[in-house]
Structure 1
Amino acid sequence: MRNDPRLQEIAEKLDGGERLGLGDGRVLFETPDLWGVGELAGGVRRRMHGDRAFYNVNRHLNYSNVCVLSCKFCEFQRKPGQAGAYAYTVEQAQAEAVEAEAAGATEMHIVGGLHPKLPFRYYTDLLAGLKAVAPGLHLKAFTAVEIVHFARVSKRALRSDFAGGVRSVLQDLQAAGLDSLPGGGAEVFDDRVHREAWRGKIRSDEWLTVHRVAHELGLFTNATMLYGHLESRENRLNHLLALRDEQDVAIDSGFPARFQCLIPLPFFPDGSPLEHLPGPTGMENLRTIAVARLMLDNVEHLKAFWIMQTLPMAQVMLDFGADDIDGTVVWYDITKVQSEDARPTHQEVSVPVLERTIAEAGYTPVERDTLYREVVRDGATGKPSLRGSADRRLIPA
């Protein structure tokens, strides 16, 4: 039973296949009937994915925390020579990849800071080196922010041809082994927040251009939204609508790839220059993920990233629109307050725990690869293979 009659009007739009607008989004954020919003989002999620909820066996590699930027929300970055600063050698990264593939991982998620001294050759060597020792791993690597940084350090002509410089970098990375792009670095698409919280990082139009070029080249990508800091709810809605518009471009233009998944990320204030802020509440987390599912109608998947949302919250989010809780992860440094020894943070969850988490929430766990194709495991060896064909549409929206 919905307590706000405005939600009934939105429900009728959804039932009629009508796209929600900015005004509808405002209602979804403002209404006191949070459970009604969750019910609407859960209904859309079930129409898209039934009772299935996805996870993957992956490993994160944060190759360096050295960064030229000083984003106010970030506790990950270090300056060159600062205590705790690190950068992997290609050989160190290869050792991680060998271990990951031996443990059954199908994906390596690779991101890092904007290192001022690493040449572009480092990144192509990194990808080629990983493919050489672990050819079965899908390499999902480098945010749009990193791609633009690579274009600068390799002296591509960004000022005269931004898209062309990005395309050249992406093509070189593809040739070295890049398989897809993650969604980091989007933060919130708003000039005011950009100036106040991450001045110096690429603008929203540049972030979107990187992903458009990636889609044109056949690289599937994800998108993130960092919320609960200096932005407003209106900023979040505009962010979602900008992503929706960009997805329309990919679909209408017939690009071979598009956004696969949105990952809303709650802001963690501790240890950052914005630690005076409270960060989002659990209720705000639920509302935000539900609004994202309802507004972003052309992006197939919505992730409750358990590392930042927690496993119990991810379970509830499956009823509020999410259909994915991410994977085994193993090492993840981005959101922790780092110690001076900069040892990676062990945050592994096993497959049985992920499957139990999903099942306890009332859903059927499905292991997927990076492109949302269903993975099956050999009963004797545990080796992964795809169910049916290699068509990425195997798990339909």
Structure 2
Amino acid sequence: MIATTEATGPARRDRRQALLPPFVAWLIANLITWLVAAASVSGDGSEVPYWSTQSRRRWDSEHYLSIARTGYELFRCRERYPEFPDVLCGNVAWFPGYPMGIRALSATGLSFEESAVVLTEASLLGMFAVLWWLLGARLTWATGLTLAIGTVFPGGVYFHAVFPIATGTLALLVCVLGVKRGSWGLAAAGGSVATACHLVGAVAAGMLLLSVFFAWRADAWPVRCAKAGASAALAACGVLWAKWLMWRATGRWDAYEVIQASSYGQGGLRQPFAEMGKAYDFPFKDWYTPKGHLPWLVEHGLTAHRSQLWLNTAFVLLVVAGAAVRLVRNRRIDAAEWAALLLTVAIFLLPFFAGAEMSWYRNHAQMFVGLVLVGKMSRWIQVPLLLVCAVQYALLASMFFAGVLV
């Protein structure tokens, strides 16, 4: 009995130590974001807005909160706002996964705004934990640097905001974990939550369909096809659930498509290079510049979306190149690396095919899954990447806290 107790002691310490790095990474991510928020506030040194729920809300946040409170609605804008153009208004352009999570948390007595922030931060902690497990849950220079890059990941300020970005990214990582473990049920669950949170999450269904070529290798081909097809189909059910909720509230199966076309001029495929140009040239600085004295960080960060696009492009090329090098050297990469590679490339491309010229930078934050491959790279690559990401994180986050980004 004594021997058993002595044996379990070190095991418990090892488990605690295994959980410590992702928790520390989460704390550091919040500390860095708080410091950027403090450096982005002009005025008399009043309360740092990072600690308020209001500071984490932007345009789309109000739609997510309204879905959590009262569900979906669709109406002609002029019915309520006579000065508006005769287009459709409502909140059916946003997916329900994140708002339903907010509604569930609000049952604890928290306000909807507080529930949204708690869900976001819990999702970010989960992101670090799942990434840590995917990296092997062992602290080395490579895994430590990878977590450090995650704390300042490009666009990562939206991991702290009232948006579904952190929740959707966590779901994508769970999907990758399911592929790694050979659990098609876990992969399907992660994929379905990802698709229910955001349109970008639909890339999970495509990745799972292609997983027949690189995953489930212990099974015969018919079983591999069944697992890939079933997991992809279940992942796609997140979209079907979203459309069912919209239909129940509005009576229209095409509510999402109709409001996108009517109010936002979106629908169908776009020419991606033309959309990249529009995204790069979008005049955030002219569109909205804070009044009064601008802190140094805000003044120099008003066009940070341009350097963000260059960095995001470099990141996806780095991930592809890293996978190619490992494939040539080892003649194979494992299932989790294939899954992360496909998701990273698809997440980068999807906003430009869909025409998201004002939101691509937050959608691209879900390329966080690409850190699965970054964790296998040399320190000579990881350290410069960390430094560049840290600078860019500060610039884009300053745009966010100054109210320039949407």
Q: Normalising by the residue count of structure 2, what TM-score does the alignment of the two structures yield?
A: 0.23
Greater Cα radius of gyration, structure 1 or 2: 2
Q: Which has the higher strand share?
A: 1
